[in-house]
């Protein structure tokens, strides 16, 4: 019995050893499987990460490709637009403006003081025609003094530049009863022209007053005249005004004249002339000063038959002098004249005498009493001689034209000849005692 019990214990020991061995093998195997499983999971995770990275790279590349395609499409569209724009500019002949810097024809300055309502009307009239060509005709308002309404009105426009002349120096008139305003105006003009010519460096300046409206071809007219002003040094300035420009005395918007009398009221001056005038600029009455022979020195002024400016300023420094009779009836041109295509060579000094003399020669002579009635009964142009200033004033009064003289020169006259229309298209030439000699006309029937 003891033997069997011993064998049984031996068997149990062997079985225990086998069980322990099996458990150890199982543990080893499980550890190996766990390690392999961990490696497999790690490998799988790595593959997943690599795959996701690859997918992200592919997606990124696809996004870039799409972005490049969109950019190319946009660039193609821009290229087509630019090509279309270039073709359009070529058709409009704008290439010349790109190839070289455009120099302004002239600065335009509106001289103002204390009339805000007048200034607004003038600015609006100028901007109506200046806006499309603002680079060729930069616009300025120059105010004399500190009137707040005028300053506020000028500054309310973005299209113009504002200048202010503040003069605190007292004014001493040279003669009793003179208006101080004329002295202040002369100072203002000298200051403003100095600013535009020397500070802003313009080669030409067009001067307007704050009570003017302009014609549709105002800027085309002055652009054409700028070439003439530069070419012919016997032309001192160019004006848009005709003193005898009332409706009953004008007809042809294309007709231009030379005159020994400075018209003013919308005029263009070159810097070279200002260099000469500025050092001796007068204390007052600058416009009459320009009409003195010692200052214009035989040079003339260009003026139109039909005015390119209209003066509506009934109230001002001149206290409305002559307004109802001479200014209010002025005819403002309404015709869009193509000045660039117009031959203006007849206005050059060496040609104008011949041109003007030929017109006088063709006119029919009128003399004696009832001159106006005789003129009315003649078809075509007429010429009437006057012997002196008194005689001229008498004849001018009968027709209703300006009688005024300055320094021996009647308003609008050229070589002593005053010309105006009288009913229909008829021209009347009032011829002075020295006119034929000055025009080198040897003989005319009386």
The percent of the chain in helix, strand and coil, each rounded to the nearest 5, is: 50, 15, 35
Give the other-Cβ count within 10 Å of 262's Cβ.
26
pLDDT digits (tens, 9 = 90+) for 124-145: 999 999 999 999 999 999 999 9
pLDDT for 89 equals: 45
pLDDT for 100 equals: 44
Q: Kindly state whether residue 73 falls inside one of the protein's structural domains.
A: no
Please give the structure tokens belonging to residue 235.
Answer: 């032309």
- Tell whether 433 and 303 lie within a shared domain: no
Q: Kindly tell me if the per-residue pLDDT of 430 is higher than 90.
A: yes
- The fraction of the chain above a pLDDT of 90, given in percent, is 68
pLDDT for 400 equals: 95
- Tell whether 254 and 386 lie within a shared domain: no
- In the listed set 344, 372, 390, which residue is the last one of a domain according to the structure? 344
pLDDT digits (tens, 9 = 90+) for 298-343: 999 999 999 999 999 877 555 455 778 888 999 999 999 999 999 9
28/243: higher pLDDT: 243
Please give the structure tokens belonging to residue 309.
Answer: 């400016």
**Integer Cα distance of 398 and 368 in angstroms:** 13
- Tell whether 289 and 398 lie within a shared domain: no
Q: Kindly state whether residue 102 falls inside one of the protein's structural domains.
A: no
Residue among 287, 288, 391, 407 flagged as catalytic: 287
Task: Supply the mean pLDDT for the chain.
Answer: 86
DSSP state of 431: E
Least confident range of 47-56, 78-87, 331-340:
78-87
Q: Kindly tell me if the per-residue pLDDT of 192 is higher than 90.
A: yes
Q: Kindly tell me if the per-residue pLDDT of 399 is higher than 60.
A: yes
Q: Kindly tell me if the per-residue pLDDT of 147 is higher than 70.
A: yes
- Tell whether 313 and 166 lie within a shared domain: yes
- Tell whether 308 and 398 lie within a shared domain: no
pLDDT for 90 equals: 47
Q: Kindly tell me if the per-residue pLDDT of 443 is higher than 90.
A: no
Q: Kindly state whether residue 246 falls inside one of the protein's structural domains.
A: yes
- Tell whether 220 and 149 lie within a shared domain: yes
Phi, psi of 73 (to 5 degrees): -60, -45
- Tell whether 116 and 176 lie within a shared domain: yes
What does the radius of gyration of the chain's CA atoms come to, in whole angstroms?
Answer: 46
pLDDT for 169 equals: 86
Q: Kindly tell me if the per-residue pLDDT of 99 is higher than 80.
A: no
Looking up tokens 């010519």 gives 197
- Tell whether 393 and 433 lie within a shared domain: yes
Q: Kindly tell me if the per-residue pLDDT of 203 is higher than 50.
A: yes
- Which 3 state secondary structure label does DSSP give 420? strand
Q: Kindly tell me if the per-residue pLDDT of 75 is higher than 80.
A: no
Task: State the pairing for strand pair 107-112/204-209.
Answer: parallel
Q: Kindly tell me if the per-residue pLDDT of 45 is higher than 90.
A: no
Q: Kindly state whether residue 176 falls inside one of the protein's structural domains.
A: yes
What is the mean pLDDT of the segment spanning 401-423?
Answer: 96
- In the listed set 313, 344, 375, which residue is the last one of a domain according to the structure? 344
Least confident range of 15-19, 187-191, 195-199:
15-19
Least confident range of 33-47, 115-129, 279-293, 420-434:
33-47
Closest alpha carbon to 211 in 309, 343, 98? 309
Q: Kindly state whether residue 92 falls inside one of the protein's structural domains.
A: no
One DSSP character per residue, 294-349 reads HHHTT-EEEEESSBSEEE---SSTTTTTTIIIIITTBPBP-----GGGS--GGGSH
Helices (H), 134-235: 148-155, 180-194, 218-231
CATH of the domain at 377: 3.10.180.20
Indicate the number of domains in the chain: 2
Q: Kindly state whether residue 424 falls inside one of the protein's structural domains.
A: yes
Q: Kindly state whether residue 339 falls inside one of the protein's structural domains.
A: yes
Give the other-Cβ count within 10 Å of 139's Cβ.
20
- Tell whether 156 and 288 lie within a shared domain: yes
- In the listed set 292, 310, 344, which residue is the last one of a domain according to the structure? 344
Exposed / middle / buried, residue 28 (Cβ in 10 Å: 0-12, 13-18, 19+):
exposed
102/128: higher pLDDT: 128
- Tell whether 246 and 335 lie within a shared domain: yes
pLDDT digits (tens, 9 = 90+) for 259-282: 999 999 999 999 999 999 999 999
pLDDT for 375 equals: 94
Q: Kindly tell me if the per-residue pLDDT of 16 is higher than 60.
A: yes
Exposed / middle / buried, residue 162 (Cβ in 10 Å: 0-12, 13-18, 19+):
middle
Q: Kindly tell me if the per-residue pLDDT of 121 is higher than 70.
A: yes
**Integer Cα distance of 7 and 443 in angstroms:** 176
Q: Kindly tell me if the per-residue pLDDT of 58 is higher than 80.
A: no
Is 287 noted as a catalytic residue in this protein? Answer: yes
Phi, psi of 187 (to 5 degrees): -60, -45
- Tell whether 358 and 312 lie within a shared domain: no
Closest alpha carbon to 368 in 356, 379, 377, 380? 377
- Tell whether 142 and 268 lie within a shared domain: yes
CATH of the domain at 138: 3.90.550.10
- Tell me the residue range of the domain where 209 lies: 107-344
What is the mean pLDDT of the segment spanning 44-64?
Answer: 66
| Terminal-residue alpha carbon distance, the chain | 187
Query: Please, are residues 257 and 303 in contact by the beta-carbon 8 Å criterion?
Result: yes
pLDDT for 35 equals: 63
Q: Kindly state whether residue 270 falls inside one of the protein's structural domains.
A: yes
């Amino acid at each position: 019995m003891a033997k069997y019990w011993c064998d049984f214990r031996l068997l149990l020991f062997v079985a225990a050893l086998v069980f322990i061995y099996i458990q150890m093998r199982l543990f080893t195997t499980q550890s190996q499987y766990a390690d392999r499983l961990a490696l497999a999971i790690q490998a799988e995770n790595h593959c997943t990460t690599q795959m996701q990275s690859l997918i992200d790279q592919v997606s990124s590349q696809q996004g870039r490709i799409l972005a490049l395609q969109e950019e190319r499409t946009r660039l193609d569209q821009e290229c087509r637009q630019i090509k279309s724009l270039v073709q359009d500019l070529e058709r409009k002949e704008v290439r010349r403006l790109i190839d070289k810097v455009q120099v302004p024809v002239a600065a335009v300055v509106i001289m103002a003081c204390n009339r805000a309502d007048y200034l607004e009307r003038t600015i609006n009239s100028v901007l109506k025609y200046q806006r499309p060509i603002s680079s060729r005709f930069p616009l300025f308002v120059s105010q004399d003094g500190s009137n707040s309404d005028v300053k506020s009105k000028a500054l309310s426009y973005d299209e113009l530049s504002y200048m202010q002349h503040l003069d605190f120096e007292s004014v001493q008139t040279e003669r009793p009863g003179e208006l101080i305003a004329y002295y202040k105006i002369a100072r203002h003009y000298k200051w403003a022209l100095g600013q535009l010519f020397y500070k802003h460096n313009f080669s030409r300046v067009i001067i307007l007053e704050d009570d003017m409206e302009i014609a549709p071809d105002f800027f085309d007219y002055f652009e054409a005249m700028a070439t003439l002003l530069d070419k012919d040094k016997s032309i001192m300035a160019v004006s848009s005004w005709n003193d005898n420009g009332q409706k009953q005395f004008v007809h042809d918007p294309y007709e231009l004249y030379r005159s020994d009398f400075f018209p003013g009221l919308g005029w263009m001056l070159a810097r070279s002339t200002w260099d000469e005038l500025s050092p001796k600029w007068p204390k007052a009455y600058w416009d009459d000063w320009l009409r003195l022979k010692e200052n214009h020195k035989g040079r003339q002024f260009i003026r139109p038959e039909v005015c390119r400016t209209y003066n509506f300023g009934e109230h001002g420094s001149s206290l409305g002098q002559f307004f109802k009779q001479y200014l209010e009836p002025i005819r403002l041109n309404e015709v869009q004249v193509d000045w660039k295509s117009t031959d203006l060579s007849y206005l050059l000094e060496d040609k104008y005498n011949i041109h003007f003399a030929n017109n006088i020669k063709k006119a029919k002579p009128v003399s004696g009493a009832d001159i106006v009635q005789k003129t009315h009964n003649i078809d075509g142009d007429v010429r009437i001689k006057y012997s002196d200033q008194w005689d001229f004033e008498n004849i001018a009064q009968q027709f209703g034209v300006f009688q005024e003289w300055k320094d021996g020169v009647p308003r609008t006259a050229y070589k002593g000849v005053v010309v105006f229309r009288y009913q229909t298209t008829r021209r009347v030439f009032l011829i002075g005692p020295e006119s034929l000699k000055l025009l080198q006309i040897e003989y005319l029937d009386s």
